[in-house]
Amino acid sequence: LSKACVFGLKLFGAPEDQFLYRKSKAMSYYPNSGAYGAPGANYGPPGNAPAAPGYGGYPPASVGPPGSLPPQGVPQQGFPAPQMGGGYNAPPATAPAPAYGAYNPAAAAPGSAFPAFRPPGAPAGPPGGPSGLPPASNYGAPGGPAPSNAPPASGRPSGVTFFSTSSGTPVPATAPAPSMMPPSSMPGGPPTGFGGPPMGGPPPPSGFGGVGGGMPPPPSGMSVNIPPPGPPGTGMPAGPYGSGGMSPAHVPGPPTMGAPGAPGTPHGGAAYGGGGLYGNQNPNSMQGMPTAFDSGTNLAGQGALPAGAAGAAGAAGANASGQPPLCLIDEMDLSIQCNPKFLRATVGKIVASQAAATNTRLPLGLVCKPMAGDVGTDNEDIEVVDFGATGIVRCKRCRTYINPYVTWADNGRRWRCNICGMQNDVPSTYFSHLDNNGQRRDRDQRPELSRASVEFVAPGDYMVRPPQPAVYFFVIDVSEPAIASGMLQHTANAIKAALDDIPGGDRTQIGFITFDAHIHFYNLNAKLTSPHMLVVSDVTDVILPLPEDILVNLAESRAVVEALLDALPTMFKQQHASPTSCTGPALNAAKRVIQHMGGKLVLFQSSLPTIGEGALKMRDNPRLLGSDKEHTLLNAEDPFYKTAAIEFSRVQISVDTYLFSGQYTDLATLSVLSKYTSGSTYYYPAFLAQRDSAKYEHELHHNLVRATAFEAVMRVRATRGIRFSNFYGNYFIRGTDLLALPNCTSDSSFSLDMAYDETVLSAQAITIQAALLYTSAAGERRIRVHTMVIPVCATAAEMTESLDIDCTMNLLAKQAVEIAQKTGMENARQRVNQTTVDIMRSSRVVSGGAGGAPGQYGMPQQAAPVQIPNCLLLLPLYSMSLQKSPVVRGGTDTRIDERAYFQQLLLNMDIEESKVFIYPRMFSLHDMTADTGLPSDNADTDDEVPTAGPNSVRLPAILNLSYERLSTNGLFLLENGHDLFMWIGRGVNPAIISTLFGVNSLEGADMSLLKINPDNSDFSSRVDAVINALRQDRARYMQLHFIREGDGYAEAYFARYLIEDRANFSGGGMSYTEYHAHVTRAVSGMPGIN
């Protein structure tokens, strides 16, 4: 803006050196206020404070008598003040004042507290006033002290630094205030397009294209939606920024389908018109989102206040930074805690000092699983609240939802937000008196005030269209590899078995597309006796035949759908199948079918896409494995799939990807479809029906019937002073902090990095609130809210001692994956190792003084023992295990598709899953106790005995992950959260083999086809119960692999999970004993082990 203005002024011959520009804080705006609306419409009688709903234009005459101060809460600088010529509280100027707050010296009156600039040649004002300003004694009452809002004696606004446009250097504070050429003095008037503030005035808000703002014109060929002019004297457009419109600081929040917001909501949905500011909508745009689900303001103190908020905040008092005070921890009921399965932080306390937190090197963050435990449309831990006509009670400033940690004032008539500190009025229909403890008397009867997790019924202003039915659309590869492997047969079986349990009831919609070298559509009209196939051969320009009959109601067309699923496996066996597949065109066709509703799209892919858009090339290069270039293969090469995924997310379509090829599939590229649409990726390398069908059908059935939220968006808020700097999981982020989730399931998990926004936290407790707005499968719009509180402590030691090691490792692992994908596996392993050393070094307490001090004859003393908090005792073990896991391990034994799959899997794991994935569990089966494998209800309860499954089945003893713990006459089970491995020693008792497998010997047996017979004996039934209990605790079906001692490759693959032994790759050559010694030496400052 500055360069543009200087350029315009140079056109008219003005010397550049005469003009100065300034850098200042962002301006504040007021939502719900008619900002820039009718002048002075809401100010009330002269001299009174502004009344609700908020600020209009405010001509000086309507503010108060001459000599009085502006009303409390009205900004003194940086606010576009139409007709401000006489300053605040001065009689209005006789001539129209320059727009946007230009200073009119002729209209300046003594006592005006506003003018900060003096045009060249303007009168200097009363004697003693610097740069045309009246002396300080003239502010407010005659002879009284200068008010806090008075300009400084230097004549320039406080907190503003001036810079020379020619040299770019600051102008000394002793220099005179910058002068400004009024527009009227410019030959020919101001330059075209400079309708905004004069030179040196406050910059217009971002996004004001061509509206009073000095924004350069759009590129040629781009259309611009210019709003009509607003009320006279405002200098602002009508519509979204006019009277009763939307504040420019409040762009509508969550993304949906592009429809305008409901009338009467805080932010008009049509703020930017149908096509965005310049033509087509940016996929990152917030346009068209539910208007009530907005983000509120920036809690750093630069956001806007709603109607009446400024006065409320002022009445409540403010701290030194001008912010309202936050709730005190003594006023919060910390006995109410959020269930850790929903929200779980890496620390139980957070230190107030940013520097102290940085020195601990602890990863600060949290893991959020918003729908944990959901079954169908219900969750036994969540109560539903309907506010009815009252409307959902939220903070008017930051939009935080009412929760158990807010505090009350004025006998219950006001409540203080625990996120931003603002006091809000309590609706009359929500009022309740307070008890002797300052809590509402009806607290126990209101779930939102007595429970940390609650769900609100969303009113109409939280949706931009009626809730859509659940949509399930299947895009199935029917090429030759899909038929030969048996994938097509088992896909049809699993879908048919799930039809009765698919969410949505009678409203559910379903459809199918199959593809090879062509695209096959299916007419599923309920009036047909059998489905009709329609083939489109031209994949470069796909047409939709009979679009209204491709997506049908499942209940009405159930018979036709089942007939199609029965016929699919044989339909393509009877004809010569093509070995190629046109995945990209098939996806585009599917989007066109369901984009008006959104929903779930399930893609089944058996080979590398080779035809049409999205065709991929074989880029697998074994020479790159284990090298510093390997990470280039872990990033998508073809932008088609990312572009398609973002478009899917925009129209509320989630994509689940199933991959089956035994050859290179470029999983890193294809998984992008799920990554940006909040879907899931499944991988069955070299799918073989006899071996993999059970796992595949179970996972597909679970995916289709699990609790699913549609058209969802999520935002996580934190108390002022804390922000979220990074997110991990499958989502597409809109704006800066809104996660767009076309589908959110009971398995969806997200991790977030936390960072400080203040050098020293002003809060005594940090509140974190996660809000998920979604449409349930039953067609109801709901808002699920989880709120947790983290106390603020004084010392770093307190924070370190409160560390949650499992949550910390979840966050650290996801950070390592991100580093591996950007810079390589070696850098990721080094980062994990260095973080471990730094954490332990910062937390150490050395007994007997510092180790290594000079001793007798100058020889160093033996290092004193290092003592670390108990919560960090397992950190070296978990750190080494993570470095040897498939996501970042070195060497050449991990295929690129396998690594890409496990990285995507880890990025979406919750804490319980990542815990066993990072450090697997190994059990001894051959010597199980008599009660192992039985529910705890049938045996004496012992907290030291691990259990699994909903029935708390007792597990066998857990062993260290070392080959030394295996014995040739033993039977061992290993779980890593994704697979189960049973290692069978050569010398195991033949009776165990016989009772488990029904054979006398395993010599010559095909281990991939081996199965446990649970009915043979009590031992076999208890082993089977242990395996099933472990599977019930995991979202993915853990396939059981049998490993016989001495079986070459199979045993080598199993040995990768024995992480306490040495591994054969660079950086993995240490056993756990050696690695622990290495970390200890590094912490003590002694040379480590190379």
At 599-636, the pLDDT tens digits run 999 999 999 999 999 999 999 899 999 888 999 999 99
Q: Which of 677-691, 759-773, 941-955, 1044-1058 has the lowest mean pLDDT?
A: 941-955
| Overall size of the chain counted in residues | 1090
Q: What does the DSSP assignment read for 656-694? A: EEEE--SS---HHHHTHHHHTTT--EEE-TT--HHHHHH
CB neighbourhood size of 334 (10 A):
12
- Rounded CA-CA distance 970/924 in Å is 8
Nearest to 635 by CA among 899, 832, 892: 899
Rounded to the nearest integer, the mean pLDDT of the chain is 76
Position 132 scores a pLDDT of: 38
Amino acid at 71: P
Position 1009 scores a pLDDT of: 85
Q: Which of 68-72, 369-373, 385-389, 659-663 has the lowest mean pLDDT?
A: 68-72
pLDDT at 869 > cutoff 70: yes
Instruction: Name the residue with higher pLDDT: 17 or 567.
Output: 567
Q: At what angle do helices 558-571 and 487-498 cross, to 10 degrees?
A: 170
* Omega of the bond leading into 340 within 30 degrees of 0 (cis): no
Asked whether the beta carbons of 734 and 756 are under 8 A apart, the reply is no
pLDDT at 176 > cutoff 60: no
Nearest-Å Rg of the Cα atoms of the chain is 34
Digit-coded pLDDT (tens) for 388-418: 999 999 999 999 999 999 999 999 999 999 9
Nearest to 656 by CA among 609, 706, 581, 608: 706
Distances (CA, A) of 632 to 685, 824, 890, 900, 917: 21, 8, 15, 11, 25
- Rounded CA-CA distance 722/767 in Å is 9
CB neighbourhood size of 794 (10 A):
12
Digit-coded pLDDT (tens) for 447-505: 999 999 999 999 988 988 999 999 999 999 999 999 999 999 999 999 999 999 999 99
- Rounded CA-CA distance 951/882 in Å is 31
Asked whether the beta carbons of 479 and 519 are under 8 A apart, the reply is no
- Rounded CA-CA distance 192/130 in Å is 34
Nearest to 1009 by CA among 991, 997, 993: 997
Amino acid at 138: N
Q: What does the DSSP assignment read for 419-441? A: TT--EEEPPGGG---B-TTSSBT
pLDDT at 366 > cutoff 60: yes
pLDDT at 332 > cutoff 70: yes
Q: What number is the average pLDDT over the span 209-232? A: 40
Tokens 């950086």 correspond to what residue?
1067
Q: Which of 162-176, 460-474, 494-508, 687-701 has the lowest mean pLDDT?
A: 162-176
Asked whether the beta carbons of 126 and 115 are under 8 A apart, the reply is no
Digit-coded pLDDT (tens) for 541-586: 888 888 789 999 999 999 999 999 999 998 887 666 788 899 999 9
Distances (CA, A) of 159 to 69, 78, 156, 245, 1046: 20, 11, 9, 30, 75
Nearest to 472 by CA among 255, 693, 660, 653: 653
pTM of the model: 0.73
Q: What is the 3-state composition of the chain as percent helix, strand, coil, each rounded to the nearest 5?
A: 25, 15, 55
Digit-coded pLDDT (tens) for 1007-1044: 988 999 998 899 999 999 999 999 999 999 999 999 99
Position 1085 scores a pLDDT of: 76
Asked whether the beta carbons of 713 and 738 are under 8 A apart, the reply is yes
pLDDT at 913 > cutoff 60: yes
pLDDT at 373 > cutoff 80: yes
Nearest to 1086 by CA among 841, 768, 740, 730: 841
Q: Which residue(s) pair with 980 in the sheet?
A: 975, 1040
Position 941 scores a pLDDT of: 52
Q: What are phi and psi of 558, to 5 degrees?
A: -60, -45
Q: What does the DSSP assignment read for 1025-1044? A: HHHHHHHHTSSS--EEEEEE
Asked whether the beta carbons of 647 and 833 are under 8 A apart, the reply is no
> What share of the chain in percent tops pLDDT 70?
67
Instruction: Name the residue with higher pLDDT: 165 or 626.
Output: 626
Asked whether the beta carbons of 826 and 629 are under 8 A apart, the reply is no
Distances (CA, A) of 844 to 116, 473, 839: 56, 56, 9
What confidence tier does 595 reach under pLDDT thresholds 50, 70, 90? very high
Sequence-distant (6+) residues with CB within 8 A of 945 are 954, 955
